[in-house]
Structure 1
Amino acid sequence: MDPQDFKEQARAQILGAAAEHRALEIRGSGSKRWYGQEVQGEPLDTRGYSGVIDYEPTELVITARCGTPLAEIEALLARHQQMLAFEPPHFGSGATLGGMVASGLSGPSRQAVGALRDFVLGTVLMDGKGEVLHFGGQVMKNVAGYDVSRLLAGSLGTLGLILEASVKVLPRPVAVGSRRFAMNQAEAIRSLNQWGGQPLPLSGSCWHDGMLTIRLAGAEAAVRAAEHKLGGEAVPDAEQFWQALREQTHSFFSGIVAGKALWRLSLPSVAEPLGLAGETLVEWGGAQRWLLADENAAMDASTIRVAASAAGGHATLFRGGDKNIGVFQPLAPAVAQIHRNLKAGVDPAGIFNRGRMYPDF
């Protein structure tokens, strides 16, 4: 579709929905449609607005339209030995750039390079009045007030239609190696925090079922020296292992079946194991922990969230379970008011992805 035609159609749909107070569901391929509260509203399909707008490999920035498939972007970057360093999960073959930004999810390398929001340099947004707003740019720089481009990361489409995004990219590492160690969860967490304070090229970690797997990435000499220092066993099919972890096709996630709920716990990396009932997988040097729990067990959502809060973090009902308990950790009143004020400023009629993050948002 012609880009201008798409924007005119989107504007007409937004203005019509605002006039009639109808909800709109901003949707690409729908690969992450399960994430968040139940989806409401008529679809506003972004896939017609596709294509790379600007990419100069020497500048380490790519700008593309919201409906551009992630696979297309990653293939283009790979031809120039570059990558989206935060390893965004696709969760489906049709995943798009807009969905990537809106979901705000990062993969195994998050512990080493930062989160998706750290790589979003600029965005173009169509708000609830059909106006096109430009935020940020194509270079790293300081900002005053709200850094709206980063606020859009993880907003689940509740603030408007993300038309375009400029994202920082990085060169692919020269060398990659993975090692595996037998240890319990507490030992793994202590080891990861100890190693994290040393000049080691750690770029990924995963503890599950008594085994800690780490990934090293960087210069050839640095990776080989780290492998020699840390020891452990080589990991067969390491690339497939990290891909499965990123896309949640790892055997741990196959337990997401009826009657099970997958919780994502965001904690300080040094937090000791919480001792919650269920199966656990630890990532990001201890900062991200997945809990596969029986949703009908005596342990309920409040127990999980209280435990996460007591450890200095929060808990999200990521997949499965009863969404009526609330997918995301309830916000403090002052923070919730900031969210509502921001939402009212860009979506005064409250039409975009209504209730996707919180029922009253």
Structure 2
Amino acid sequence: MPPENPRELIDRVRAASAARTPLRIAGNGTKAFYGEQVAGAPLSTREWAGVTSHEPSELVVTVRAGTPLAELETVLAEKGQCLPFEPPHFGPGATVGGMVASALAGPARASAGGVRDFVLGLQLINGKGEWLTFGGQVMKNVAGYDVSRLMAGSMGTLGVITDVSLKVLPFAPAEATLVFPLSQADALAQLHRWGGQPLPLNASCYVKDDTQPDAPELLFVRLRGAKAAVEAAAERMAQEAGGTRMDNAQAGPDWTDCREQRLPFFSAPGAEHGLWRLSLPQTTPVLALPYAQLIEWHGALRWLWAPASAARELRSTAAQAGGHATLFRAPASGDAGVPRFDAQSAALTTIQQRLRAEFDPAGIFNPGRLG
């Protein structure tokens, strides 16, 4: 029988806390590239795995952190359900704990919501080796400080997530993908117009493959929802912006490749280039930057390859637009000491330090991961 509590993880944390030995928390390490690199003894959650509860009629699943994400998605699919925020795997063996800790979401993020929006409750081991429970299995259980959602995106700096309860949703009854030959400016303008209308928009991706001469600029838009709504919107949008409809058998793998960053755009153009992620307001116009971009989330997420020396330019441009820039994947030749994340305000830094002092007083969890 599987163990009833993560005793081995608890003992490891208590020993590390007593010795003030840093711990590098990970599942299978598929997102180890994300954030600042961490030194410390590895602490893996892989052995603490399994779906412990699934209530399809209640749209709730509870799962251990070391459970492979693919396994969870298979269990949900058997009941016609899914994680609507489409978390990326970035390699085989990606775990549920890594999904929550990184809070990374796929193409549907702008329409469906992010990881944090679907976390109902969780259990974690804090820096004192205490196994704590926050939240529950229904939305109304959330009261006071919503600690469970605070863990989404904490990158393992506040505790070892052991179990998480998630809200899930049924697969959409219908889906359609349209492709439009539009320039970046026209694509953004069209997305902004559609965004203000009652259309079943689910995901979008603007891209120009600069590795191919004379490659067209293309906007892909995915619709999901009731069949009648999807069909009506697809016909209307195709006529309005000169689009054509793709076969779902072709479009499905393309969206997966977008989520997993396997499209040609995501191949590094050179060892000195890193992959930058610019998070901006959706209505931000075309940026005056000399780098090709892939744009998701209806304009809110912009990917580009640039050398580390462009950090100041990219971060200044993003800040002027009301957003921020992250060095998502460091250059193969090194990042020249460029921080992965933007500098925080003094107020946010103070809050972060107080949270860490409360959850991890010895400072042993992924020290420096967030910069």
TM-score bracket for the superposition, by shorter chain length: over 0.9
Per-residue CA deviation, residues 61-112 of structure 1 (Å, 9 max, x unaligned), is: 1000000111111001111110000000000110010000001000011111
Aligned to 2:365: 352
Q: CA RMSD in A?
A: 1.4
Q: CA deviation at 1:235?
A: 2.5
Pairwise CA distance, 1:142: 6.8
Distance 1:177 1:331, change over 3 A: same
Residue in 1 aligned with 2:33?
34
Q: Give the Cα separation in 2 of the matches to 1:251 and 1:120.
A: 33
TM-score, length-scaled by structure 2:
0.93
Question: Do 1:257 and 1:320's aligned partners in 2 also have CA atoms closer than 8 Å?
Answer: no
Range that drifts further, 272-281 or 199-208: 272-281
Whichever residue aligns with residue 296 of structure 2, its letter is: E
Asked if 1:254 is matched to 2:264, the reply is no
Question: In the aligned structure 2, how far is the partner of 1:178 from the partner of 1:194?
Answer: 18
User: Is contact 2:268–2:274 with CA below 8 Å preserved after alignment?
Assistant: no
The residue aligned with 1:3 is 3
Instruction: Tell me the matched-pair count.
Output: 354
Q: Is the 8 A contact 1:176 1:223 kept in 2?
A: yes
Stretches of structure 2 that go unaligned for 5 or more consecutive residues are 209-216
Alpha-carbon distance in structure 1 between the residues aligned to 2:201 and 2:265: 22
Give the distance between the partners of 1:13 and 1:256, measured in 2 at CA: 42
Q: Distance in 1 between matches of 2:198 and 2:21?
A: 54
Per the TM alignment, residue 3 of structure 1 is displaced from its structure 2 partner at its CA by 2.7
Task: State which of 223, 237, 244 in structure 2 corresponds to 1:216.
Answer: 223
Q: Which residue in the other structure is 2:320 paired with? A: 310
1:152 alignment counterpart: 151
- CA 1:143–1:167: 2 relative to 1, 3 Å: closer
Q: Write the distance in 1 (CA, Å) between the matches of 2:69 and 2:132.
A: 23
The answer to whether residue 347 in structure 2 is matched with residue 329 in structure 1 is no
Deviation at 1:187, TM superposition (A): 1.1
CA distance in 2, matches of 1:323, 1:57: 49
| Structure-1 residue corresponding to 2:109 | 110
Moved more, 202-211 or 230-239: 230-239
SS at match of 1:108: coil
- TM-score scaled by length of structure 1: 0.95
CA positional deviation for 1:12:
1.5
Structure 1 unaligned residues grouped into runs of 5+:
none
Preserved contact between residue 111 and residue 201 of structure 2 (Cα < 8 Å):
yes
Once residues 324 and 166 of structure 2 are traced to their aligned partners in structure 1, the CA distance between those partners, rounded to angstroms, is 27
Which residue of 2 is the match for residue 126 of structure 1? 125
Displacement after TM superposition at 1:255 (Å): 2.5
Q: Which residue of 2 aligns with 1:54?
A: 53
Distance 1:144 1:84 in 2: 24
CA distance in 1, matches of 2:190, 2:145: 37
1:226 aligns with 2:230: no
Kindly indicate whether the alpha-carbon contact (under 8 Å) linking 2:308 and 2:338 is maintained by their aligned counterparts in 1: no
Percent of aligned pairs with the same residue? 51
